[in-house]
Structure 1
Amino acid sequence: MAFRLTLIRHGVAQGAEQAIFGHSNPPLSTLGREQLAARWAELSAHPVDAIASSTLARAADFALDAAMSLGIALHLERGFDEMNLGSIDGKAKADWSAAEHAAWDAWQHDPAAHPLPGGETWDAFNLRVQTALNTWIASGEAEHRVLIAHQGTIKAILLSALGLPAARHSQFWLAPAGCITLWWDQDWPPMILGIQNHLPDAR
């Protein structure tokens, strides 16, 4: 069955100005909740009948409220969690070593070829994301699925769907609460219907 798939990045998390978060688990800031609320209101033109989320608070807390507002179950899945970023995960950038800065720069160029120290490999991360996505899709039919997750999770889904290597990940950068909508047909390559990368107005 073909369906609309909307991938939403979580809003700004507490402490995001100082650190980069993977598996570390800060909640949304007040601004982050306002951003997601505004993005959610924009989806009303296409009623949502299935919603999934990573288990991390910056995605799951809002997703739970959204699912409750629709009266549908939330598919909460660890496979959609952000990549484990190893030694820099949640660590203030001001405290990074020179080696950690160099590792981050190399990872940005090609995350598959340059795993972060102590971090998850791209192949392992991509496998768990794709497994989680396939399991969710197989769990039941829906006309409009929404996944609230993370920058890395969304990039992994898009790169795999479009047959692109990890080195092309920077083409799919999303702002906080940004979203990408696809028309997903398992018999054909997905089509990107739109990218909304502006910060929605707080309401």
Structure 2
Amino acid sequence: MADSTSMFDLIRHGEPEGGPMYRGSKDDPLSEMGWQQMRSAVTESDRWDAIVTSPMLRCVHFAQELADTRGIPLHKDERLREINFGEWEGRTADEVMANDGERLSQFWANPVAHTPPGGETAKDFNRRVTESWHHWREELAGQKVLIVCHGGVIRMVVADVMNIPLEHSFSSVATPYACRSRIQVDTSAHGLFQSLVAHGSFKASTP
């Protein structure tokens, strides 16, 4: 195994049109505020060799703009779509709590055992996201990479990096709009080691 150090910055999309809700597979573009949040979350000092993005509008529009502006290769990956929340999609947290509060609480307590009605299972979601993560981790080894994606996707990747059980993966990491996470991946003859080195609002690009 060739020695390499990779740096992956994951950023959640900004606010979409329609504001906060269980959006899931509902494909809304960024609002004006969302564009401001995304543009403010990156600086000229950030340096990436490649960008990987969810194909959903709230991610891909910003990723495309950034790739075009900086001349960076852009890769779109269907596996990085947000989890499908089924019947909860398009409804706010308060609306879901008022009408389906028990199932919502059960989902957050243990998403493996409690799938949103008509939605995607946590296991299926986790499987496709981790497949994507492992693919790009190998494909872009040794590079600095930006991944533009969703709150649920970031939770799955962080859970893989930190060995968080899937049952606790949704409730263990806060991912506000335009939140950034940095993961370092080192490979050598001793194996592969990955670690979360930053999470939240940060702009420095130097590891």
Partner of 1:189: 193
Instruction: Structure 1 unaligned segments of length 5 or more: list them.
Output: 199-203
| Residue 45 of structure 1, CA deviation | 3.5
Q: 1:1-203 maps to which residues of 2 (within 5 A)?
A: 1-17=4-20, 19-41=21-43, 44-92=44-92, 96=96, 100-169=100-169, 170-186=171-187, 187-197=191-201
Q: Aligned equivalents of 2:184 and 2:97: distance in 1?
A: 43
Contact 2:8 2:145 (8 Å CA) reproduced? yes
Deviations 1:127-147 (A, max 9, x none): 111111222233344421110
Structure 1 counterpart of 2:58, one-letter code: R
Deviation digits for residues 42-66 of structure 1 (CA, Å, limit 9, x no counterpart): xx43411011110111111101111
Give the number of the structure whose residues are more often helix, by fraction: 1
Give RMSD over aligned pairs.
Answer: 2.0
Unaligned runs of 5+ in 2: 203-207
Scaled by the length of structure 1, the TM-score of the pair is 0.87
**Which range moved further: 107-116 or 179-188?**
179-188
Deviations 1:5-34 (A, max 9, x none): 1110110111124x2110111111101100
Superposition deviation, residue 193 in structure 1: 1.6
Deviates more, 1:150-159 or 1:46-55: 46-55
Count how many residue pairs are aligned between Structure 1 and Structure 2: 195
Distance 1:131 1:72 in 2: 23
1: CA distance, partners of 2:159 / 2:140: 24
Q: Which has the higher strand share?
A: 2
How far apart are residue 197 of structure 1 and its match?
4.0
Cα deviation, residue 120, structure 1 = 0.6
Residue identity (%): 25
Structure 2-normalised TM-score? 0.86
**Does the 8 Å CA contact 1:8/1:149 hold for their aligned counterparts?**
yes
**Within 1, Cα distance between the matches of 2:22 and 2:95?**
12
Contact 2:5 2:141 in 1 (8 A): no
- State the distance in 1 between where 2:99 and 2:118 align: 13
* Structure 1 residues 47 and 110: CA distance shift in structure 2, 3 A: same
What's the offset of the Cα at 1:98? 5.5
